[in-house]
Amino acid sequence: MTTPRAGQSPLFARRELGVLLHPTSLFGSEDVGTLGRHAFAFVDWLEQAGATIWQILPLTPNGLHNSPYFSPSAFAGNPWLIDLDTLRQHGLLEGHAPEPVHGARVPFAELPDTKLPRLLAAAEAFLGMPRHPWWPAFRAFGEREAWLEYTAHFFALKEEHTGAPWWTWEPGLRERRPAAVARSRVALAHRIEVWEAVLFFFEQQWRALRAYANGKGIRVLGDLPIYVHHDSADVWRHPEQFRLGDDGRMTVQSGVPPDYFSATGQLWGNPIYDWNRMAPDGFSWWIARLRRCAALTDIVRIDHFRALSAYWEIPGDAQDARLGRWVPGPGQRFFDTVATHFPAMPFVAEDLGTLDESVLALRDHNGLFGMRILQFGFDGLPDNLHRPDVFPEGSIAYTGTHDNDTLRGWWESLDAGQRATVAAYYQFSPDDPSGKVVWSLIEAAVACRSRVAVIPSQDLLVLDTRARMNDPARFVGNWEWRLPPDGLSDELARSLRRLRDRYR
C-alpha cells in the first residue's frame, strides 16, 4: 500500500466507490451539460448509488479540438458549463427555460454562436445592476484571483484579433510591453469586465454545486493537465516559464513516445516548462495553479505524472513524436516544495504510460495513489500491473479512463482468443451477452484490493464504442458524448449500491 508522508492523513481512509462523468456530458435543456438542476440531480443519484467520489475532467474552458486539455486558460472555469436557467432565475436573462432536450453529441462548434451571446448579454445585464445580490461575491472573486484580470484581457484581445494566436499579434502586445498592455487595458476595459463577469458566473454556480455534493458526503476528484496550451492566457502572461523562442514560438514541444495508442507516438504540441527558471522562486506559478485546482475540487489527479520525473521533449518543428528524447523533470525537489503548501497532499498520480523505477519512487515517496486500468491487464505478460488480482490497496481501480474505449467497445473489439482469455480469468462465458460481461468486469474492479474503484458512466450503461469520450489517436469527434435522458435510473443506482455493499 502507498505510505503517506510523515504527518500526512490518508487521502482515502476507507474503501470508496466513484463514478466518472464530466459535467459537459450531463443531460439537460441546453446543447451542452451545465451546472444547473440536472447536475444537482446527478449528485442525488450518486448518493442513491452509494458513490462518494465524483470524478470529472478539467474544469477549464474547452480549447483546441474541443479538448479541456488544450484550454485557453489554466485557471478559468469553463463558460459552457454555466447554466442559463440559473441566470434567468437571478434576473440576468429574459424568457423562460426551454424543456429538456437531448442531442446525442455536444455541438461545440455551434456554441460560440448559440450560447456565448446569451452569456455575454447576461454579463452586460449584471454589470448594469450594481445592487444585484451577487456583487459582493463578484468583488471578492476579483480581489482573490490574481489570474482573472489578465485572463479576461487575453479573451478580449483574442476577440479583437479574430482568434489569431498571441505570438502573431503586434510586438507590443506579443511581448507584453507595459505601455502597450496598459493602452490595450484602457481601450478594452468594458469588454474585460464583461469577461470577468462571465468567469464569475461559472465560479458562483460551480461552488454551489460542489457544496451540495460535499454536503451529501461526495467528494469531487478533479483533473490537472500536466501541460497548458501554447495559445493561452497563461503562456502569453508568463512566457518566461516556458521554453519559447524570442518570437514566442515553441523551441520544443510535449508528447509521448510510441505506445499502446500510436505507433508514431503522440505529438501534443504544448510548450515545455523551463523548470530551471521555475525552481528559484519556489515554483510559484505551479503552486498557484495547484492551489486553484485544489480550491475547486477535493482531490486533484495530476495528469501525466511521469513528466514530473522525466518528460518526452520533441523538437518544436517535428511532425510526430518519434524524434523526442527523455529529459529529467523537477522530481522530488518539486514535491518537497508542494508539500510545504499542501501538507495533506490531496493529489492522485496518473501513473500510466511508459514508466521506470524513478517514476514509481517519486509517486511512492510522496504517498500518492496511482491508477490501475482493467482493460490494460491482458497483454499476456506475467508482470502486468493492471490485472485486478495484483492491484495494490493504495491505488484507484478503473475499468477504463476517458482515453479508453468503453468496456463494451473494448470487449467487442477482442478476437475470439482474447475473449476466451478474459472470460477464463473472470470465470464467465465468452458467449455471455455484452451486458453480463460488462457488469462482471465492473464487479471485478469493485471487488479488487484497491481502496477506491471509479467506473465511467458509459460502462455502467453498457454503451458501445460510439460513447467513447476521447480517442488520443484522433483529433475530431472527441469530448462530445452526452448522457442519455433515461440513463441514470433508480434501478441502475440500486445495482451499483448492491455491488458497493457486497464488497464493503
- According to the model, what pLDDT value does residue 261 have? 65
Q: How confident is the model at residue 111 (pLDDT cuts 50, 70, 90)?
A: very high
38 domain-assigned:
no
Tell me which DSSP letter residue 367 carries: T
Q: How confident is the model at residue 193 (pLDDT cuts 50, 70, 90)?
A: very high
Does pLDDT of 390 surpass 90?
Answer: no
Query: How far, in Å, CA of 229 to CA of 33, rounded?
Result: 23
Query: How far, in Å, CA of 55 to CA of 329, rounded?
Result: 27
Lowest mean pLDDT among 334-343, 410-419, 420-429: 420-429
427 domain-assigned:
yes
Lowest mean pLDDT among 81-95, 367-381, 388-402, 404-418: 367-381
Catalytic residue among 47, 259, 298, 303: 303
- According to the model, what pLDDT value does residue 353 have? 82
Domain range enclosing 453: 369-462
59 domain-assigned:
no
401 domain-assigned:
yes
141 domain-assigned:
no
Q: At what angle do helices 189-215 and 116-127 cross, to 10 degrees?
A: 100
Q: How confident is the model at residue 381 (pLDDT cuts 50, 70, 90)?
A: low
In the three-class reduction of DSSP (H, G, I as helix; E, B as strand; rest coil), residue 66 is classed as: helix
409 domain-assigned:
yes
Instruction: Describe the strand order of the beta sheet including 219-224 as a list of residue ranges.
Output: 347-349, 299-302, 219-224, 53-55, 16-20, 452-456, 395-398, 370-373
Q: What's the CA dihedral at 283, 289, 295, 299 to 10 degrees?
A: -90
Catalytic residue among 47, 403, 443, 464: 403
Catalytic residue among 31, 83, 231, 350: 350
In the three-class reduction of DSSP (H, G, I as helix; E, B as strand; rest coil), residue 28 is classed as: strand
Query: How far, in Å, CA of 195 to CA of 141, rounded?
Result: 13
- According to the model, what pLDDT value does residue 240 have? 96
Tell me which DSSP letter residue 369 carries: B
Q: Active-site residue 30, yes or no?
A: no
Neighbours of 335 (CB within 10 A): 21
* Contact (Cβ atoms closer than 8 angstroms) between residue 402 and residue 479: no
Q: How confident is the model at residue 97 (pLDDT cuts 50, 70, 90)?
A: low
What's the per-residue H, E or C state across 148-179?
A: HHHHHHHHHHHHHCCCCCHHHCCHHHHCCCHH
What nine digits make up the cell of 309?
520525473
Q: Active-site residue 403, yes or no?
A: yes
Q: Between the CA of residue 273 and those of 255, 330, 337, 362, 389, what are the distances in Å? A: 13, 10, 17, 19, 38
Instruction: For residue 291, give every residue at least 6 positions away whose Cβ sits within 8 Å of its Cβ, in sequence order, or none.
Output: 341
Task: Indicate the pTM of the whole model.
Answer: 0.95
- According to the model, what pLDDT value does residue 100 have? 58
77 domain-assigned:
no
What nine digits make up the cell of 21?
462523468
Question: Mind listing the pLDDT tens digit for each residue in 400-418?
Answer: 999 999 999 999 999 999 9
Question: Mind listing the pLDDT tens digit for each residue in 218-252?
Answer: 999 999 999 999 999 999 999 999 999 999 999 99
Looking at the structure of the chain, the number of domains it has is: 1
256 domain-assigned:
no
- What residue type is 259 in one-letter code? D
- According to the model, what pLDDT value does residue 2 have? 63
Residue (of 196, 65, 20) closest to 123 by Cα position: 196
